[in-house]
Amino acid sequence: MKKLLLVCCLFFGLTTVLFAQPSDPQKRAKGLQKELKLSDDQTSKIAAIYQDSAQKFDQIKKKDNGDTNKMLVDVAPLRKATIAKIKALLTNSQGEKYNELINENKGSGLQGGWSGGWS
């Protein structure tokens, strides 16, 4: 029963993200800049990471032809890589706050909102 509920939540979250209006990488980076008090240099580098991640996500989406089960599997490494790239640019205190933002968004389908994804 728990597995079924988890699969339903993951499916709903991914579906919501997939059909949501894609976010502009610059706007996403600016939002993160406000939350984490990033420098302009950090913000521009994170915008580039978000842009690259969005392009890779589009490729996955096309390759998997909307098959959400395949996409869940294929997007996971991209999400992890995006998070790792962003964390590498952050100070320790910014990294802690970033982790909090990621954890706050777990289960809401917005995990990519701060981490690359698609969010």
SS (H, E, C) 19-70: HCCCCCHHHHHHHHHHHHCCCHHHHHHHHHHHHHHHHHHHHHHHHCCCCHHH
Predicted pLDDT at 71: 87
Q: Band of the pLDDT at 45, cuts 50, 70, 90? A: very high
**pTM of the predicted model over 0.85:** no
Region 76-83: mean pLDDT is 93
Is residue 96 scored above 70 in pLDDT? yes
Mean pLDDT of 2-14: 53
Give the CA distances from residue 59 to residues 6, 16, 63, 87, 107, in Å, rounded to whole numbers and listed in that order.
Answer: 26, 18, 6, 24, 24
104 confidence band (pLDDT: 50, 70, 90) = confident
Asked whether residue 28 carries a pLDDT value surpassing 70, the answer given is yes
Q: How high is the pLDDT of residue 18?
A: 46
Range with lowest mean pLDDT among 7-11, 27-31, 62-66: 7-11
How many Å separate Cα 85 from the centre of its chain? 12
| Separation between Cα atoms, residue 104 and residue 118, nearest integer Å | 16
Please give the residue range of the domain that contains residue 71: 2-115
pLDDT at 69: 87
Structural domain count of the chain: 1
Region 18-29: mean pLDDT is 70
